[in-house]
Amino acid sequence: MFGIRIVFSLLFFTFILDQVDVLENGLARTPPMGWMSWGYYMCGVECEKGNDKCLNEKLIMSVADTFYEQGYQEAGFEYIIIDDCWAERHRSKRGQLIPDKKRFPRGMKFLAEYIHARGLKFGMYTNIASITCMKFPGSKGYFEVDAKTFAEWDIDYLKVDGCFVTENYLKTAYISLGKSLNETGRPIVYSCSWPYYIKFVHDNEPDVGKVAKYCNLWRNYHDVVMSWTSIMGVIHFYVENYEKIAPYHGPGRWNDPDMLIFGTGALSNGQTRVHIAVYAMWSAPLLLSCDMNKITPYERKLLLNLNLMAIGQDKLGIMAKPYMTDGDVIIFVKPHQPLKGNAYPAFSFAYVNLDIFERDIYFSPKIYGLNNTDPYTILNVFTGVYIRNMTAFESMNIKIPGHDVVLYTFYPL
């Protein structure tokens, strides 16, 4: 088979991809945004005792209502995804998965309709082994049956975990489950945990290029937990592995650093800004996982900041390149699709200070490939204020408080 070789070059960003080598199901042209149950609700099977971590249809419907009524949908939040622990312990006599009868009494097709009626999309979960990570029925031996069932339920997104299997099995199983999903004819975003398990369970280097051939998004690193240490771990991992994984990142195929931990009280406002700024700069999937009622007014303001969301949803989907400076400041650089009729791309810069002390940096944009000969106008993305105009050949000092970030978008004038 021959491929069309695309040499994709945006100044310092030169990626070469063989076109036949990526999944082209037309889905996830920008990174998925939404909500997923696991991070906060985990295996929320205990609903009786007034437990606030109960994973049931009421919860899923309330997230759909919140997205619809409180502006999240307009900001781009779209997918509502049920993670593990949604099924009965046994398949039906015909071998099908059955939603838990107490927690999902009206079934999944009902939920799909409820979600679709609000212009939103519905996602579900399975595992590639014969049981899920939490020991509910898994899809091994049932790829076709399960793909059909999910398609009949009208889901739009499937997360497929990779617990309890061998490395050899991983190499083929995700490919065949993807084929079964494709054969249903229903467009279903395919989220794979495949590379994570290769690297951290089987202790081998994953072939991300191969994963990008079969999956719309994939997990590279550990589950996020509700702490700043966890977010720092994620940032360090992706910075260290940038050269290996960034070339495969783009429309239809995304590295997935796992959920946002908004609404959990785990982060200061500065740390929250770092978390969301870095995810947006990466064009990472933005999946909340929390009780939507616990999102603070400030967090909500960030999630509904359209200049910020536009960075993450930029059509080119380039993963921002990290540049280390002295001290603990990382400068992330992201070129954007030029606006219509404009030869000069806009750029976003995130100056991330992972130290606890304030840092002062001297910044010269010309080093990063800005090529407009006229000035740029600079938007402070968090304040919404255009702070100044400057050419690429001028410089400025930027102060970044400890555990915080300054985020600017440079628009060519």
Q: Binder to ligand NAG among 1, 4, 7, 343 (CB under 6 A)?
A: 343
Which of 252, 257 has the CB closer to ligand NAG?
Answer: 252
Tell me: does residue 10 bind ligand NAG (CB under 6 A): yes
Least spacing, CB of residue 215 vs ligand NAG, in Å: 12
CA pair distance 325, 70, nearest whole angstrom: 40
| Smallest distance, ligand NAG to C-beta of residue 218, A | 17
Would you say 253 and 270 are in contact if contact means Cβ atoms under 8 Å apart?
no
Among 70, 96, 176, 182, binds ligand NAG (CB under 6 A): 182
In three state form, how does the secondary structure of the chain look?
CCCCEEEEEECCEEEEEEHHHCCCCCCCCCCCEEEECHHHHCCCCCCCCCCCCCCCHHHHHHHHHHHHHCCHHHHCCCEEECCCCCECCCCCCCCCCCECCCCCCCHHHHHHHHHHCCCCEEEEEEECCCECCCCCECCCCCHHHHHHHHHHCCCCEEEEECCCCCHHHHHHHHHHHHHHHHHCCCCCEEEECHHHHHHHCCCCCCCHHHHHHHCCEEECCCCCCCCHHHHHHHHHHHHHCHHHHHHHCECCEEEECCCCCCCCCCCCHHHHHHHHHHHHHHCCCEEECCCHHHCCHHHHHHHCCHHHHHHHCCCCCCCCEEEECCCCEEEEEEECCCCCCCCCCCEEEEEEECCCCCEEEEECHHHHCCCCCCCEEEEECCCCEEEEEECCCCCEEEEECCCEEEEEEEEEC
Q: Is 175 in the site for ligand NAG (CB under 6 A)?
A: no
Part of the chain binding ligand NAG (CB under 6 A), chosen from 184-192, 193-201, 351-359, 393-401 = 184-192
Pick the stretch among 20-28, 35-43, 192-200, 359-367 that binds ligand NAG (CB under 6 A). Answer: 20-28
Report if residue 324 touches ligand NAG, rule: CB under 6 A: no
Q: Is 21 a catalytic residue?
A: no
Among 96, 377, 380, 391, binds ligand NAG (CB under 6 A): 377
CB of 355 to ligand NAG, least distance (A): 30
How many other CB atoms are found less than 10 A from the CB of residue 13? 18
**Which residue in the set 162, 263, 322, 345 belongs to the binding site for ligand NAG (CB under 6 A)?**
345
Q: Which of residues 37-56 bind ligand NAG (CB under 6 A)?
A: none
- Residue 26 near ligand NAG by CB under 6 A: yes
Which residue number, 34 or 345, has a Cβ lying nearer to ligand NAG?
345
Residue 356 interacting with ligand NAG (CB under 6 A): no
Segment interacting with ligand NAG, rule: CB under 6 A, options 23-31, 94-102, 207-215, 297-305: 23-31
Considering only 48, 93, 94, 185, the residue that binds ligand NAG (CB under 6 A) is 185
Q: How far is the CB of 338 from ligand NAG (least distance, A)?
A: 7
**Within 128-157, which residues bind ligand NAG (CB under 6 A)?**
none
Q: Check binding of 367 to ligand NAG (CB under 6 A).
A: no
339 binds ligand NAG (CB under 6 A): no
User: Least distance (Å) from ligand NAG to the CB of residue 369?
Assistant: 7
The catalytic residues are 161, 223
Residues in the site for ligand NAG, rule: CB under 6 A? 10-11, 24-26, 182, 185-187, 343-345, 371, 377, 386, 388-389, 413
